[in-house]
Amino acid sequence: MNIKPIRTKADYKSALKTVETLMDAKANTPEGDMLDVLVTLVEAYERQHFPMQLPDAVEAIKFRMEQQGLSVKDLEPMIGRSNRVYEVLNRKRGLTLNMIHKLHVGLGIPAESLLRQSVVAAE
């Protein structure tokens, strides 16, 4: 087993090719162990070089609405009257800490996404 750190793009591509050849390896075998270690190294490299950005608050809310089939009316207990919900969804009003808390608890949206406030449109 010749495993080394993934430091360059060439190392990364080589590791991906090796992972692909080992995808059918059984657990608790030398090949399965090699696959496990390589996948861990690939994930570490990807986290460092291809970080995933969390969506901003409005994108997160809209995604959850679509995912759960929610309407503006469903958001009223967490944000306020429908005109306020529309203002938030249209980026004309930011979320308050109270709204963030209610959306996080009520819809399970990660607080990190809700805290990423989008730019409020200029009036």
Amino acid 1: pLDDT: 59
Task: Tell whether the model's pLDDT for residue 11 goes beyond 90.
Answer: yes
Task: Tell whether the model's pLDDT for residue 122 goes beyond 50.
Answer: no
Task: Tell whether the model's pLDDT for residue 113 goes beyond 80.
Answer: yes
Q: If you write DSSP's letter for every residue of 23-43 in order, what string do you get?
A: TTPPTTSHHHHHHHHHHHHHH
Amino acid 32: pLDDT: 92
Amino acid 118: pLDDT: 55
Task: Tell whether the model's pLDDT for residue 44 goes beyond 80.
Answer: yes
Amino acid 76: pLDDT: 97
Q: What is the mean pLDDT of residues 54-59?
A: 88
Amino acid 123: pLDDT: 43
